[in-house]
Structure 1
Amino acid sequence: MEQKKKIVIKVGTSTLTGGSNRISYATIENLARQILSIRDRYNVILVSSGAIATARQFAEIHQTGTAQIESKQALAAIGQPKLIRIFDEVFGSLGLQVAQCLLTYRDFDNETAKENVRNTLHKLLEFGYIPIINENDTVAVDEIIFGDNDKLSAYVAIISEADLLMLVTDIDGIYTQNPHLHPEAELIEHVTDTESVKAFIQERDNGLGTGGMTSKIYAAELCLRHGLEMRIVNGSRPAFISGALSGAFRHTRFGG
């Protein structure tokens, strides 16, 4: 295990749903096959959003105003065990073993908790398991409100001493303008200073995940502060993990 590099792959809701309003089994199978293809070179930790989207396939809970966050927490509680079951079934069919880890930001503020998390992740990788991490939305709402696990994945990458954090989303990376609104926007392929790209961020609500480029820039700042490389990769591209690692297609790389 020590000879392998360690990669944290964060997959957002928009990728897991394939642009629909339901979790895509085909997307998860594709993700599993890609992880299988790089396991001889990389130990993989997966940070997965999608619990709320999963729950909406089984339950209808509608609230507005002050009750909206509580409703999303309830949906997350319903969807999380169903989501991990999907991962277990699909990954298991390809011989990949998974383990669930639910964390909150308070786990990174306490030195004892951080050491426990680090040791658990190390042991899971040693035993050949793929840790699948999500925020514990029952007791914390940070990612429900803003972030879609972007910041959480950066903390996981830092605490696990990973070599690379890969944020898989529905866009190729950072552009000079929002490419959904401006077709002439140009992709920025390499960033060493996050301040230089903040002015280019124009958010667009897709109605699925809560993560946008703002939270990804924040994650990049955390990574760069700790000397960790981060990449933003389009999950709709074929073989997006190995393709990004080999430079087969354009994407945004921070640091490195």
Structure 2
Amino acid sequence: MTRLESATRSSVAAARLVVVKVGSSSLTTASGGLDPARLDALVDALAARREASAVVLVSSGAIAAGLAPLGLSRRPSDLATQQAAASVGQLALGHAYVSSFARFGLRVGQVLLTADDVVRRAHYRNAQRTLSRLLALGVVPVVNENDTVATDEIRFGDNDRLAALVAHLIGADALVLLSDVDALYDGDPRLGAATPVREVADAADVAGVTAGESGSGLGTGGMASKLAAARLASVAGVPVLLASAADASRALTAADVGTAFAASGRRLTARRFWLAYAADSTGTLTLDDGAVAAVVGRRRSLLAAGITAVAGEFHAGDVVDLTDPAARVVARGLVAYDSAELPTIIGRSTRDLPAEHRREVVHADDLVALAAR
């Protein structure tokens, strides 16, 4: 078995449902505006893969596509102009995909999301339902961050993370990240000698990798965001292939290009994945060593006796981080108390508490353990 023939690559090639993410620089010209030839080449590869499996496309490019029509020479730095560019560019991008996929008799449906749609459990389930129904109807969903209304507080920051979240949200069998870089390197190839990392089995394989930021000036995601997204998906049980958009056809067939990230964790339920990786944390509970062992090692509920400190303002039902004595996040969960209630009961045995407080602070069914981070 060669380094470009692995079980991970085979699983990507054979995936029955695959999420494909493409960056702005792979769809647009350096001066802004869509590049029809690049977009058609991508759709050619997606349509060919669509014959064997279902495909969801997470596409950047709305802001970049709006630059030329608005007479802008570079990506704007202020939020209002970014939103205006996205408003113009999203229509151009959507129309281009509709026309290009129509060459193969395929229909597309646009799904615009903000981080709020993933953070809020009800919205998360709505997005999940919409995407599932589009796939059932034979439609190719084209997902993008809703840049026209997203603010700094509710942005994903880049579509790489959005793609990783979507991959788990719909139960995808693989995630393919396409960009203007052909693989993950152990350094910045623009700065000199750098060696591609072809296979990533676990975090140790990329411990020494230095990932740079986007160099195109058109997008927000660099190699750091792609590495983070690949880790997020792989830890949640989804294998990942990172490759160049120019190699899209091979990436979506033999998967013998780029860097393959093995699924290093077991697949979580949608609810537990949301709890672990998608929801926003509103506070922190610090645990003693005994509570860490019970919660992480034995999957027990968190009791007040095992908590040594409380930080943040939150209400019952909010998501909180659980940290060990060294301040490392070891779990997340839905807290059963308001932050104002906890200071008087933490560190105390359940039998010593008033009857109304003799319940778990975080129930085991509402907990998900994480690798310390």
1:119/1:215 CA distance change after superposition, 3 Å: same
CA distance in 2, matches of 1:179, 1:191: 18
For residue 115 of structure 2, the aligned residue among 84, 105, 109 is: 105
In the alignment, structure 1 residue 76 sits paired with structure 2 residue 86 = yes
Asked if the contact 2:180–2:244 (Cα under 8 Å) also holds between the matched residues in 1, the reply is yes
Q: Which residue of 2 aligns with 1:190?
A: 199
TM-score normalized by structure 2?
A: 0.61
1:208/1:198 CA distance change after superposition, 3 Å: farther
Cα distance per residue 1:157-216 (max 9 Å; x no partner): 11011011111001112111111221x311101113336425422425221211101111
Cα distance per residue 1:107-165 (max 9 Å; x no partner): 11222222211111111111110000000112324699884311111111110110111
Deviation at 1:18, TM superposition (A): 5.7
Deviation at 1:21, TM superposition (A): 3.2
1:143/1:50 CA distance change after superposition, 3 Å: farther
For residue 144 of structure 2, the aligned residue among 121, 124, 134 is: 134
Q: May I ask how many residue pairs the two structures share in their alignment? A: 249
CA distance in 2, matches of 1:52, 1:148: 12
For residue 246 of structure 1, the aligned residue among 224, 234, 254 is: 254
> Which amino acid counterpart does residue 196 of structure 2 have in structure 1?
L
Asked if the contact 2:116–2:154 (Cα under 8 Å) also holds between the matched residues in 1, the reply is no
Q: Which residue of 1 aligns with 2:177?
A: 167
Structure with larger Rg: 2
Q: Report % sequence identity.
A: 36
Deviation at 1:63, TM superposition (A): 10
Cα distance per residue 1:31-64 (max 9 Å; x no partner): 2221221223210000000011111121035899
CA distance in 2, matches of 1:20, 1:64: 9
Asked if the contact 2:241–2:255 (Cα under 8 Å) also holds between the matched residues in 1, the reply is no
Deviation at 1:81, TM superposition (A): 1.3
In the alignment, structure 1 residue 13 sits paired with structure 2 residue 20 = no
1:218/1:47 CA distance change after superposition, 3 Å: same
The secondary structure found in structure 1 opposite 2:100 is helix
Q: Which residue of 2 aligns with 1:58?
A: 69
For residue 23 of structure 1, the aligned residue among 22, 31, 34 is: 34
Deviation at 1:70, TM superposition (A): 1.8
Higher relative contact order (CA 8 A, sep 6+): 1
Structure 2: 5+ residue runs without aligned partners?
A: 1-13, 264-373
1:64/1:138 CA distance change after superposition, 3 Å: closer
1:73/1:199 CA distance change after superposition, 3 Å: farther
CA distance in 1, matches of 2:259, 2:15: 24
1:161/1:13 CA distance change after superposition, 3 Å: same
Asked if the contact 1:63–1:71 (Cα under 8 Å) also holds between the matched residues in 2, the reply is no
1:61/1:34 CA distance change after superposition, 3 Å: closer
Deviation at 1:217, TM superposition (A): 1.6
TM-score normalized by structure 1?
A: 0.87
The secondary structure found in structure 1 opposite 2:246 is coil
For residue 226 of structure 2, the aligned residue among 213, 216, 222 is: 216
Deviation at 1:20, TM superposition (A): 5.8
1:199/1:146 CA distance change after superposition, 3 Å: farther
The secondary structure found in structure 2 opposite 1:180 is helix
> Which amino acid counterpart does residue 100 of structure 1 have in structure 2?
Q
The secondary structure found in structure 2 opposite 1:123 is helix
The secondary structure found in structure 1 opposite 2:133 is helix
1:246/1:142 CA distance change after superposition, 3 Å: farther
Cα distance per residue 1:71-91 (max 9 Å; x no partner): 111111111112101111111
1:64/1:133 CA distance change after superposition, 3 Å: closer
How much is the aligned-residue C-alpha RMSD, in angstroms? 2.7
The secondary structure found in structure 2 opposite 1:58 is coil
